Structure 1
Amino acid sequence: MLHVSERGQLLPPSPYRQLTPYAEAARRRGLVVHPLNIGQPDIETPPQMLAAVQQADIRVLDYGPTAGLDSYRRVLADYYQQQGLAVTADDIIVTTGGSEAIMFALLACLNPDDEFIVPEPFYGPYQGFAIATDTRLVPVSSYLENEFALPPIADFEAKITARTRAILLCNPNNPTGYVYSRTELEQLRDLCLRHNLYLLADEAYREFCYDAPFVSALELPGAEQHVVLLDTISKRYSACGARIGALVTKNQTLREAVFKLAQLRVCPPGLGQLLAQAAAELPTDYFAHTQAEYQARRDLMVARLQAMPGVQCPRPGGAFYVLCQLPVDDAARFARWLLEEFELRGETLLVSPAAGFYATAELGRQQLRLAYVVHQDIINRSMDCLAAALKQYPGRQE
């Protein structure tokens, strides 16, 4: 009898895709299903970027350099320099999306059975990346009651063992939208220096901070050899399907190890890099427009949620997600009920139960992550659905 690997069996389902079959069934029944489950922006990919691929004069789509096209790495270095980061093209390895950057970082920084510490709730696939790399994710809990701020450094220190090799931080955070301050980042830097740890900084949402300026881990003085920046164009330019990310580090020895991992997949997508490179030609106000649109959507969704009896919803400072607590017995059961038994004027919701963003059992069971990546009229219709559903749901708790 053939067996699937233990790794394959242990991989958790996606917290934001696992209900897709139920949504498809609801659509087949004729319902309109509003997708608040996943961070797929509806803002159009800039036409200048698409044109770069459409107009490319390519006769043979050949292999590219393992670290990425030199021309793109220079453009990307210019982007970081404009953000005040001392990054050169040599510090960059282009990856197949941010996911590959995360995978490369874990493989290059940790040995099998080594540990990395992550504030929870965290980006759900981190747990899967840990299983795939034979490493161990160690959670440190943050809480809705204090808006998911960084847990006390003493809580991190208490989790450090002889196998701890890194701290992984998503800033702005997915799924909470929390934006970590310079003071919080400096505390983590000092901890990493004190215990000789890597600081893996997932900055996929760096352009979307609404109430305070963004601070990159690469800005922290004294931590240059410890910081590994994990990045992607997916959210920045509404180009999730391009599958272009980057791993950036000033640590040459680590970068050489990552380069050898990158050789295993030969090169990142060539057409995606052409598309990403064209981002340098975008107007200077591009991010001002997109940021203002997401901020307006955030303000609308938060206001609607906070007006619902029994719902607790901190105001996220960045990214495009809210993590809210509902007066229900179980958010996963409620999310499935929305797709199987509920409708309002022929409409319902696809949402992400938050338990899949936690490693600690029982945490997040009454929480949902909602993505405000749809037009404001859709947000209003979605919130109408949610408000009505909470009144009708048989498992409501007062």
Structure 2
Amino acid sequence: MERYDGLSKRAKELPASPIRKLVPYADEAKKRGIKVYHLNIGQPDLKTPQVYFDRIRSFSGIDDYTNSAGLMELREKFSEYYKKWSIPFEASEIIITEGGSEAVSFAIAAVADPGDDVMVIEPFYANYSAFAKFLGVNVVPVTSKAEDGYRMPSVEKFERSLTPKTRAILFPNPGNPNGVVYTKDELEMIMDFAVRNDLYIISDEVYREITFDGLKAHSMMDFGNHERVIIADSLSKRFNICGARIGAIASKNKRIMESVMKMAMARLAANHISQYGAIGLFDLDKNYFKEMVSEYQKRRDVVYNELKNIPGIIMNKPEGAFYLAAKLPVDDSEEFVKWMLQNFSYEGKTTMVAPLGGFYVTPNMGKNEIRIAYVLNSEDLKDACRILARGIEEYSKEKVFSKR
């Protein structure tokens, strides 16, 4: 029997965020006077719409607990919003959460017991692993590859990863970290697989609006079988209110939502003031989203065009969200990121990206891959990408020299 050493197994095995764990290296670089371009974290620099702050300023009364399901007016706004997307959720089928992260955690907890399996398409949003590990649930990967543009893996790959304890499939669309927007055929394949194997689908749709080149992100609610679909959503990126921590979980499955409500009651309620402010965001006109998407597409083009000519790089042009995943001509992307922060600068500047290894659970996968979040203005992005390209060139030379 393993001796208790003062920490739970959960505490010891919980993975550190691959997005945030290298921040101390960036902090040290800044202390040395180096300007660090942060392309490692999905924190947009676009302004939060003023209506959010105006509503908060108008708040009066008591900042008390709301209903554990959230303010009814906000749930009704979510319902109206979904119906504009032909997603038939009523306010009673929506629970407000502390960001999309809590929505995903609640969904996993509702359908899977400790020791059960949830399938993910890797590379995936890295915190899925942490959410599952905290609940004692296993993340079982189905791998997509950079060489294939990180497209949806074949149904045969899903079948090989299926176990008797598989309870759900979890994935984002549009994709984080790869910017993929899945086609209708790819999503129909997922639904058919879920139906045949009696699985739930946890569909992370937080980047729904952010698609490029005329593409549309289909919701998993577009394919029927509503009883097995759970939608995780968030206002963080849609309205640039990451700090507000306002998300939602929604499903037509009453048993699921009754279970989630008990979880919501256990954590009391989402932030009252943030919920109150968020109500006004749903009244923004269509131009808000057109301008936002136009800006991200412009930034996507800057990053792609700056990096596509790096010798040995493998990447595809992102179709949505604001991320680009790429395979670099380096042996270890985490060591490369550390080197960029500790040993490299150009004109007093360096660039920080996220190593992609932590976005996989298959050992040694993603070891030479990175994620870039194009969340800076175009001029800064152009400079950051040129510095990154120069860093890759210098790092490769240094490695070749050290082997002689």
Q: Unaligned stretches of 5+ in structure 2? A: none
What CA deviation, in whole Å up to 9, does each residue of 1:330-353 have, x standing for no partner? 111000000000000000011100
Query: 1:6 aligned to 9, 32, 39, which one?
Result: 9
- Partner in structure 2 of residue 17 of structure 1: 20
Q: What fraction of aligned residue pairs are identical, expressed as a percent?
A: 38
User: 5 Å matches for 1:139-178?
Assistant: 139-178=141-180
User: 5 Å matches for 1:204-219?
Assistant: 204-211=206-213, 212-219=215-222
What CA deviation, in whole Å up to 9, does each residue of 1:155-212 have, x standing for no partner? 1112112101000111111001111111111111111111111000001111111131
1:136 to 1:396, Cα distance in 2 relative to 1, 3 A:
farther
Query: 1:350 aligned to 349, 352, 355, which one?
Result: 352
Counterpart of 1:354 in structure 2: which amino acid? L
Aligned-pair CA distance for 1:280: 2.0
Query: 1:279 aligned to 281, 290, 301, which one?
Result: 281
Q: Unaligned stretches of 5+ in structure 1? A: none
- Partner in structure 2 of residue 334 of structure 1: 336
- Partner in structure 1 of residue 38 of structure 2: 35
Whether 1:52 and 2:90 are equivalent positions in the alignment is no
Aligned-pair CA distance for 1:27: 0.4
- Partner in structure 2 of residue 106 of structure 1: 108
What CA deviation, in whole Å up to 9, does each residue of 1:269-296 have, x standing for no partner? 1111112111122122110000000000
Aligned partner of residue 395 in structure 1, secondary structure = helix
Aligned-pair CA distance for 1:395: 2.8
Aligned partner of residue 301 in structure 2, secondary structure = helix
Matched length: 395
- Partner in structure 2 of residue 248 of structure 1: 250
Whether 1:76 and 2:78 are equivalent positions in the alignment is yes
RMSD between aligned alpha carbons?
1.2
Deviates more, 1:275-284 or 1:370-379: 275-284
Displaced runs of 4 or more, over 4 A: none
1:247 to 1:396, Cα distance in 2 relative to 1, 3 A:
farther
Whether 1:116 and 2:118 are equivalent positions in the alignment is yes
Aligned partner of residue 191 in structure 2, secondary structure = helix
User: 5 Å matches for 1:223-372?
Assistant: 223-372=225-374
**8 Å contact kept, 1:192–1:199:** yes
Distance, in Å, in 2 between the alignment partners of 1:378 and 1:323 is 19
Query: 2:133 aligned to 109, 128, 131, which one?
Result: 131
Aligned partner of residue 387 in structure 2, secondary structure = helix
**8 Å contact kept, 1:320–1:373:** yes
Aligned partner of residue 201 in structure 1, secondary structure = strand
**8 Å contact kept, 1:327–1:396:** no
Distance, in Å, in 2 between the alignment partners of 1:396 and 1:38 is 30
Distance, in Å, in 2 between the alignment partners of 1:395 and 1:10 is 33
Aligned-pair CA distance for 1:318: 0.5
Aligned partner of residue 64 in structure 2, secondary structure = coil
**8 Å contact kept, 2:147–2:315:** no
What CA deviation, in whole Å up to 9, does each residue of 1:245-267 have, x standing for no partner? 00000000110011001110111
TM-score, L = length of structure 2 = 0.96
Distance, in Å, in 2 between the alignment partners of 1:368 and 1:62 is 43
Aligned-pair CA distance for 1:396: 6.2
**8 Å contact kept, 1:355–1:362:** yes
